[in-house]
Amino acid sequence: MQPRRVVVTGLGALTPLGNSVDSFWQGLASGVSGADFIKQFDPSKFKTRFACELKDFDPTNYMDKKDARKMDPFTQTAVIAADQAVADAKIDRATVDLDRVGVIWGTGVGGMINFTQELKEFHQGDGTPRFSPFLIPRLILDIAAGYISIRNGFRGPNFSCVSACASATNAIIEAMNHIRYNKADVIVTGGSENIINEPCVGGFNAMKALSERNDDPKTASRPFDLDRDGFVMGEGAGALVLESYEHAMARGANILVEIMGGGATADAHHLTAPHPEGLGARNVMKAALADANMQPEEIDYINVHGTSTPLGDIAEVKAIQAVFGDAAYKLNISSTKSMTGHLLGAAGAVESIAAIKSILHGLVPPTINHFTDDPQLDAKLNFTFNVAQQREVRAALSNTFGFGGHNASVIFKKFVP
């Protein structure tokens, strides 16, 4: 069958830069850092004492207190971002076929906050098991998709994608393909991650993955800078409403952009380190371009994975140059993780939103915190250092790569009826 065109009609976001899409985009465009010292627990004994946390976030501002207590924070943020996206898309549950509306969601870790708290309380007690009946529903990774479905009555395809930091991008690609091949008309997709707690910070510290720049947290995330020393943890959620072109037109929806294609590959190299020549990254961008039936010259902006790790940034740039050749010098490249930190399983969702907004506003958000060029990186490439740049963005590609060698890329394009 002929694949259907797929468009984006709604967006929602909770990020370290703001609790809405507009505030998120304003922060990106202004080059604001979301990093600060951790407030969710006492980090004084940890090697890293800062992160990009949500600001002024209270789930009861968005939902009933009783409902909020049943959810781990990763589900709370998922539900809230999805609510925003559904409202933005103006989905009318009374007029759409709810059997044809689904939810495909991504997360890398799931309900770690509540799981950790339950274990603490058990070990501090007398050993008698007194676990919450909501422990398992708070913990399991599929539950965010389930809650979004239940809250809205969406009875179409419903599941979660787990591929570490590529989870949300894989979810978006799955959603696109379900609509392409007529398995659904509308899919709410994206990802959420809220794991800024002791075992997660301690675990990433033990791997030597996190920046330890405690003297200056706001400049700690330094993608492509010579002195980068690891990523900064972030938290939050991003949601997109994907819809078939025909369905969107029939209901008079406001179409934001078209989603053209996506790719998924594996490095097959190492548990945590990227392939040194960016082989998996190279292959996934080629796969996304082929799926979109597009040429490298048609891409104007790449929102890169760009985590601020010594090896990862170099491997991704090598991959971009291998795929794009001379066209790489006409691209804008930027890492919005320099501002949001790394949202892990939610990264692909919020970064897809950044790519979409760049198309809509003709503005490429910057890679902030650049101080010193890395001689291993080609200085002729446009990394959009420190200040946003205005340009027409006809199409944007978003990269996300995860531990385990998972790679996913997705392409969005300016909508043309």
Three-state secondary structure of 14-78 = EECCECCHHHHHHHHHHCCCCCEECCCCCCCCCCCCEEECCCCCCHHHCCCHHHHHCCCHHHHHH
Options 275, 305, 370, 406, the catalytic residue: 305
Nearest in space to 415 (alpha carbons), one of 185, 220, 245: 245
Options 52, 165, 200, 247, the catalytic residue: 165
Options 247, 342, 370, 406, the catalytic residue: 342
Q: All domains of the chain, ordered by start, with CATH?
A: 7-250 (3.40.47.10), 261-414 (3.40.47.10)
Q: Can you give the pLDDT at residue 1?
A: 73
CB 167 within 8 A of CB 108: yes
- φ/ψ of 229, rounded to 5, equals -135, 20
Nearest in space to 10 (alpha carbons), one of 194, 261, 187: 187
Q: Can you give the pLDDT at residue 128?
A: 85
Cα-based torsion angle of the residue sequence 43, 341, 78, 116 in order, rounded to the nearest 10 degrees: -20
How does pLDDT run across 36-92, given as a tens digit for each residue? Answer: 999 999 999 999 999 999 999 999 999 999 999 999 999 999 999 999 999 999 999
Three-state secondary structure of 351-411 = HHHHHHHHHHHCEECCECCCCCECCCCCCCCCCCECCCEECCCCEEEEEEEECCCEEEEEE
Q: What share of the chain is helix, strand, coil (3-state, %, to 5)?
A: 40, 20, 40
Residue 200 — left, alpha, or beta (φ > 0 → left; ψ -120 to 50 → alpha)?
A: alpha
Task: Determine the average pLDDT of the residues in 329-337.
Answer: 98
- φ/ψ of 334, rounded to 5, equals -150, 155
Examine the residue annotation and report whether 123 is marked as an active-site residue of this protein. no
CB 11 within 8 A of CB 21: yes
Examine the residue annotation and report whether 200 is marked as an active-site residue of this protein. no
How does pLDDT run across 123-172, given as a tens digit for each residue? Answer: 888 878 889 999 999 999 999 999 999 999 999 999 999 999 999 999 99
Query: Strand, helix or coil at 273?
Result: coil
- Tell me the DSSP string of 147-178: HHHHHHT--S-EEEE-BTBTHHHHHHHHHHHH
Name the token pair of 18.
């703001």
Q: Is the pLDDT of residue 191 over 90?
A: yes
Residue 21 binned pLDDT confidence (cut-offs 50, 70, 90): very high
- Tell me the DSSP string of 209-233: -B---TT-GGG---TTBTT---B-B
Q: Can you give the pLDDT at residue 123?
A: 87
Name the token pair of 399.
């990269």
How does pLDDT run across 341-385, given as a tens digit for each residue? Answer: 999 999 999 999 999 999 999 999 999 999 999 999 999 999 999
Residue type, 388: A
Would the pTM count as exceeding 0.95?
Answer: yes
Q: Can you give the pLDDT at residue 129?
A: 87
Nearest in space to 76 (alpha carbons), one of 132, 14, 155: 14
Q: Can you give the pLDDT at residue 347?
A: 98
Q: Which residue matches tokens 């994907």?
A: 242
Examine the residue annotation and report whether 342 is marked as an active-site residue of this protein. yes
